[in-house]
Amino acid sequence: MVVNSEVERLKRFQNFLAGEDRIVFEDLLNQCKLYASYAGNMAMTLPEVPMIISMLFSHHKKLWQLEKRLIKNGVLPASEDGQKA
C-alpha cells in the first residue's frame, strides 16, 4: 500500500520525462514493486529507502546475471577474487 502511494507520487517526475526516458522510469518503478514485499521487512522511517533498495537490488541482479553470461561466453574474465559471477 505504501509502495503504491509512493509510486503514484513519483509518477509526477515521470510526467516530465520524454520518450524512452519515460519507459525506462516506468520500468524502474515496476522493478520496485517486484521486491516490495521483501523491502517491506525493513524497519525504516522513510518509505523511500526500502523502495530505493528494491530498485538497486533489481538492477544489481540484472547486472550480475549479465556478467555471468559474459564470463560464460568468454567475453569477460572471471572476477579478480577468483569467483565466477
Q: Give the pLDDT of residue 71.
A: 92
Domain enclosing residue 38, as ranges: 2-72
What pLDDT does 63 receive?
93
Number of neighbouring beta carbons within 10 Å of residue 13 = 11
Tell whether 77 is covered by a domain: no
- Rounded CA gap, 59 and 63, in Å? 6
Whether 85 is in a domain gets the answer no
- In-domain check, residue 78: no
pLDDT of residue 80: 63
Confirm whether 30 is domain-assigned: yes
Decide if 54 is inside a domain: yes
| Number of domains, the chain | 1
| Position 83 in a domain | no
Q: Residue 37's pLDDT is what? A: 79
Q: Does 64 fall in a domain?
A: yes
pLDDT (0 to 100) of residue 83: 54
Instruction: Tell me whether residue 32 is in a domain.
Output: yes
Q: Is 19 left (phi over 0), alpha (psi -120 to 50) or beta?
A: left
> How do the pLDDT tens digits run along the chain, 85 residues long?
667 788 888 888 999 999 999 999 999 888 888 887 787 777 777 877 888 888 889 999 999 999 999 999 989 898 765 555 4
**Nearest Cα residue to 77 out of 62, 65, 68, 61:** 68
